[in-house]
Amino acid sequence: MRGFNQKIYMLIIFCFCLLLIYPLTAKAGLRTEIQKIVEDIAQKYSLDPTLIHSIIKIESNYDPWAISPKGAMGLMQLMPSTASQYGVRNIFDPRENIEGGVKYLKDLIRLYQGKTDLVLAAYNAGQEAIKKFGGIPPYPETINYIEKVKASYQQPFIKTKTKIYKFIDKRGRVVLTNDRLYYLRHRQDG
């Protein structure tokens, strides 16, 4: 009987240790999954993954279930209207949230010619705040947000790695485009 009790006791200790370790390994697994998603989406949209990671770290600290007091949700803290605009159906799905956030970020990069401070200010405070103040709004939260993101992404301009395709069209003209599908449909050399 004593050997049986000792085995039960050891089994209970083992299970307790597993319960302590599981959250750490589960979190590490999720972090690895998010890392892979960021790499895939960064490559797909020609964006530096460091910028995406910096935003996720500040926005949600890698918590896919994060909800802000203002209603922003998920890893990249998308507002429901922004998520809908960029085709995000499940705002808490890491891949959908990151892809929606990156699509929005790319639009802001185009709108503000890649100026990091303006892009980050618009991501945090909204485009209307940028218009209202003619630049970065004087909100302490926004100024702090820009500083935090730039602590790990220290570029004055956000560079996109957009591939440019060059081809000869039907009329013999040289055409440059960043649209791969347009290139494949219209090139005459292949």
Residue 72 to residue 56: CA distance in whole angstroms: 13
In DSSP terms, 176 is beta-bridged to 166
Cα 161 to Cα 5: distance, rounded to the nearest angstrom: 64
Is 128 annotated in the active site?
Answer: no
For residue 162, which of 106, 87, 80, 90 has the smallest C-alpha distance? 106
Which member of 59, 99, 141, 147 is catalytic?
Answer: 59
Q: Which residues are catalytic?
A: 59
